[in-house]
Structure 1
Amino acid sequence: MDARTHVETRARAAKAVSADLAVATRAAKDTALRAIADALTQRADEILTANARDVEAARAEGIPEHIIDRLRLDEERVAAMADGARNVAALPDPIGEVVRGSTLPNGLRLTQVRVPMGVIAMIYEARPNVTVDAAAICLKAGSAVLLRGSSSARQSNTAIVGVLRTAIESAGLPADLICQIDPTDRETTEQLLRARGLVDLAIPRGGAGLIQMVVERSTVPVIETGVGNCHVYVDADADLDKALDILVNAKTHRTSVCNAAESLLVHKAVADVFVPRAIAALRDEGVTVHGDSAFQAASDAVVPATGDDWAREYLSLDLSAAVVGSLDDAVRHIRTYSSGHTEAIVTESIDAAHRFSMLVDAAAVMVNASTRFTDGAEFGFGAEIGISTQKLHARGPMGLPEMTTTTYVVTGSGHVR
């Protein structure tokens, strides 16, 4: 079967059953989500065996370790995937929610209500957990989902999708609400992005190259998720002990994710004290600091930063670092190089925190907290489908409401115009 036929067959199947899900009760959807969670736990060995084959193949191909970390599953990560599905089941159903309503002067009753998108295409790299997160959120939000993972995770995703389809079918919902698109043929992505009329929304999740390709080539509407060049700014009025803890956590808690810190900015008023402490603490965690002249002067261990370092998403134990003359200088640096994901300020000054929050252009701003908190689960949204760095419709971690659209329902009593 060629790529076009393959995609159209799966998309038509998904579209055909999406109408059934649009009117499904919350109880029916939650039962299916709990069935998914139970099945993931019960069939974990099957999933882990498939994942081990993917990891082995990735290592043989020389894929970087931070990508392998995203690819790798273990019992704890499978359990987290199951918990994510249960968390989504526990969340309120967004479908039918009245966003706003009023009675017009002519007596017409106007309500804007949340309704499903229809069919959502998820195009993503590595990270098999995204398979479960996307399927769970789309199902609860009333939409069918087409999952196009990467070839590096093919065996993992195939095993997981098999579990998901069997689980929802056992709960009384059509298996075709969750469909996998073949990742071994790159043309399937092109066909998926051109399936306007069959696919209502495309969401890319991965590296800058994937996201740019989807945005530029898609005729299907796209919500753009973004890479994370996240900054930690240590202000003149920062508690330096607090700043050190936040910096180390933001950089080293998990380096291969988009909400990890990639750059450090330090106000000159605290630089003499904080910079040596930061370099030492980061060195203890294995971090290589790519610094400006001020950081280089503080330690021979600092690597000179190049022009490319300031905008780079390392996804590794590397960090760019600079001393700035003021909060506004920090903001200018961030607005120049930020990817619009998450920016953090450490300060005890309410005025500084407010000014920073208003001036940086990001989906999330952390005040005295690690960048690692930009996450749908941490925000209480349940499992997230991605973090949007665009400004239309959805921005930041995208949970259930962001996966819906709205319809205006106008009720009259024989009104004519």
Structure 2
Amino acid sequence: MPAMDVQPLSTLTPGQPLVFGGDRVTVVPEALAEAFVPGDALVVLQDTGEVLHVPAGDRAAAAAAVDAAAAAFGAMGDVDDSAVDAFYRSFADHLADDERYAPIAAANAADVAAARERGRSTTRLVLTDRMRADMIAGLRAWTDVPGTRGRVLETSEHDGWTLEQVSDRLGVVAFVFEGRPNVFADACGVLRGGNTVVFRIGSDALRTARAIVEHALDPALTAAGLPPGAAALVDAPSHAAGWALFGDPRLALAVARGSGEAVRQLSAVAQQAGNDVSAHGTGGAWMVATAAADADRFTAAVRASLDRKVCNTLNVCCVVRERADELVPAFLAALDAAAEARGTAAKLHVLPTARAHVPAERFSTVVPIARAGGEVDEPQAELLDEDRLGDEWEWEDSPEVTLAVVDDLDDALRLFNAHSPRFVLSVLSEDPADLERAWQLAEAPYLGTGFTRWVDGQYALGTPELGLSNWERGRLFGRSGILSGAAIATVRTRVVQHDPDVHR
């Protein structure tokens, strides 16, 4: 068989065909052909035919960070758990030191101001005192988590020899997230198991990220004696840097955390490169109040599930028709209370099935709704088609949720499995049979009986999390949906031969 003639891609032609999926063709857009220069790369997503342009600068930034993390991983075998503990303590101390923290706060203020000028959401971008405290607490908590390296998981005794299954470090973990600075502390949990990490943060928070690296992260690595690059930042603002990172075959795991569309693209890039992916994208919790729901418990659960907008915030509430006259007013009261606590008005989306149970004045009353670009006058309630039940409401200060009235629990579970991201489900019922049926039929990794916001690694397990996987792309193999640093490990097998005469 003759050798293949492989040439580097240096130019593109508008309309140039590109094969994808094995049997389909897309073409190069004119704008892409004009922008492409030697050193750039293309990624054609094999499921959709999307053509992603990765400029040379973004490729270089990602490669430099992975180079550093790969070299550091090679050195981490000589780093013991006490040095990793010292890193966490030092990182936390640097963040707690007001003088060292001042430039980080200033960088974050600049990021927030720039994002607001562009009409971008700043809900998760602002580095509040609470977020700072949580970062510090999360880092210090890692010192209490036992190291996973060398843990014997299983032992098999044979005549003359012993086999052990042993947990060990995995490799370089790439982590792409949007504008949440506190994720730096969470993602550094991979070092607990002797792994290394590469971060790529969204452009909105890049100044903040650079400041954290300069004034807290890198000094902590140095102080603890960890290899440089054990936690490395891809210093590039574009989405293409994330594609370049996730396409690097040296990764042991790619963790994508952000909006649904961005996570879908990143996951596809990583999978095409042969990298394992943990996707943490579309969120939005669902709640069902059954015929056996307690009205007071239901009201409290709704209120506590709408305190702020994150992935486990209540997004869709289903109330069974039999109790709608009683429970829909309870739901609306809780929604209004959540908005009042934030000094805003709430936004309600109503399925036609629930229209008759919502006061008419909600549809005619116009209220100021706090959006990323500022306040916008909108109707307090609007009708929503069933095919949009999967929409996740990315609200700022105005709680936003969808209400549906369903025939029964089975009807609610049907809607959940068909339209939700298969993520968080809460079932309000005093009947254990309802809870068991939901457990058996709902395609949800997280099921509860009250407020939805419990779904969080640090809150529920006392361990900082890397993210929360949904089941939008199917169930997860052999692990929980809560991904923590301590869970990132591989299993090695070793044998100790006692009898030198053992043979097959």
Q: Determine if the alignment matches structure 1 residue 407 to structure 2 residue 492.
A: yes
Once the two structures are superposed, the pairs formed by residues 218-233 of structure 1 within 5 Å of their partners are 218=270, 219=273, 220-233=275-288
Q: Determine if the alignment matches structure 1 residue 247 to structure 2 residue 296.
A: no
Other-structure match for 1:396? 481
Match of 1:58 among 106, 110, 115: 115
The change in CA–CA distance for 1:111 and 1:381 in structure 2 (over 3 A counts) is: farther
Query: Residues 131 and 161 of structure 1 are in contact (CA less than 8 Å); yes or no, is this contact kept in structure 2?
Result: no
Q: Determine if the alignment matches structure 1 residue 129 to structure 2 residue 182.
A: yes
Q: Determine if the alignment matches structure 1 residue 200 to structure 2 residue 252.
A: yes
Deviations 1:181-207 (A, max 9, x none): 0232443222212210x2211100000
Other-structure match for 1:150? 202
Q: Determine if the alignment matches structure 1 residue 210 to structure 2 residue 259.
A: no
Q: SS where residue 102 of structure 1 aligns? A: strand
Cα distance in structure 1, aligned partners of 2:226 and 2:268: 35
Amino acid at match of 1:314: W
Cα distance in structure 1, aligned partners of 2:85 and 2:119: 41
Q: In percent, how many aligned pairs have the same letter?
A: 28
Query: Residues 61 and 236 of structure 2 are in contact (CA less than 8 Å); yes or no, is this contact kept in structure 1?
Result: no
Once the two structures are superposed, the pairs formed by residues 5-404 of structure 1 within 5 Å of their partners are 5-42=60-97, 43-63=100-120, 67-104=121-158, 106-135=159-188, 137-162=189-214, 163-196=216-249, 198-218=250-270, 219=273, 220-250=275-305, 252-255=306-309, 257-284=310-337, 285=339, 286-298=345-357, 299-300=359-360, 301=362, 302-316=381-395, 317-367=399-449, 369-390=450-471, 391-404=476-489
Query: Residues 302 and 334 of structure 2 are in contact (CA less than 8 Å); yes or no, is this contact kept in structure 1?
Result: no
Deviations 1:273-310 (A, max 9, x none): 11122123313423222112343222121421223531
Amino acid at match of 1:154: L
Q: Which has the higher strand share?
A: 2
Cα distance in structure 2, aligned partners of 1:366 and 1:315: 23
CA drift of 1:96 comes to 1.9
CA drift of 1:128 comes to 0.9
The change in CA–CA distance for 1:112 and 1:125 in structure 2 (over 3 A counts) is: same
Amino acid at match of 2:384: A
CA drift of 1:247 comes to 1.0
Say which one has the larger Rg.
2
Deviations 1:384-404 (A, max 9, x none): 000122512433221134211
Q: RMSD of the alignment, in Å?
A: 1.7
The change in CA–CA distance for 1:107 and 1:378 in structure 2 (over 3 A counts) is: farther
Cα distance in structure 1, aligned partners of 2:240 and 2:329: 51
Q: TM-score, normalised by structure 1?
A: 0.93
Amino acid at match of 2:470: T
Cα distance in structure 2, aligned partners of 1:95 and 1:287: 49
Cα distance in structure 2, aligned partners of 1:311 and 1:13: 40
Query: Residues 110 and 409 of structure 1 are in contact (CA less than 8 Å); yes or no, is this contact kept in structure 2?
Result: yes
Query: Residues 300 and 334 of structure 2 are in contact (CA less than 8 Å); yes or no, is this contact kept in structure 1?
Result: no
Cα distance in structure 2, aligned partners of 1:224 and 1:171: 31
Cα distance in structure 1, aligned partners of 2:281 and 2:237: 24
- Aligned residue pairs, count: 408
CA drift of 1:90 comes to 1.2
Deviations 1:93-131 (A, max 9, x none): 222222222224x54322222111111000111111112
Amino acid at match of 1:312: D
Name whichever of 82-91 and 403-412 sits farther off.
403-412
Cα distance in structure 2, aligned partners of 1:213 and 1:70: 21
Cα distance in structure 2, aligned partners of 1:22 and 1:350: 50
Query: Residues 36 and 85 of structure 1 are in contact (CA less than 8 Å); yes or no, is this contact kept in structure 2?
Result: yes
Cα distance in structure 2, aligned partners of 1:275 and 1:303: 16
Deviations 1:256-275 (A, max 9, x none): x1000100011122111111
Cα distance in structure 1, aligned partners of 2:322 and 2:154: 49
CA drift of 1:332 comes to 0.7
Cα distance in structure 1, aligned partners of 2:388 and 2:347: 12
CA drift of 1:3 comes to 2.9
Cα distance in structure 1, aligned partners of 2:430 and 2:200: 45
Q: Which has the higher helix share?
A: 1
Query: Residues 202 and 238 of structure 2 are in contact (CA less than 8 Å); yes or no, is this contact kept in structure 1?
Result: no
Amino acid at match of 2:448: M
Name whichever of 231-240 and 286-295 sits farther off.
286-295
Amino acid at match of 2:330: R
Cα distance in structure 2, aligned partners of 1:111 and 1:161: 39
Query: Residues 312 and 424 of structure 2 are in contact (CA less than 8 Å); yes or no, is this contact kept in structure 1?
Result: yes
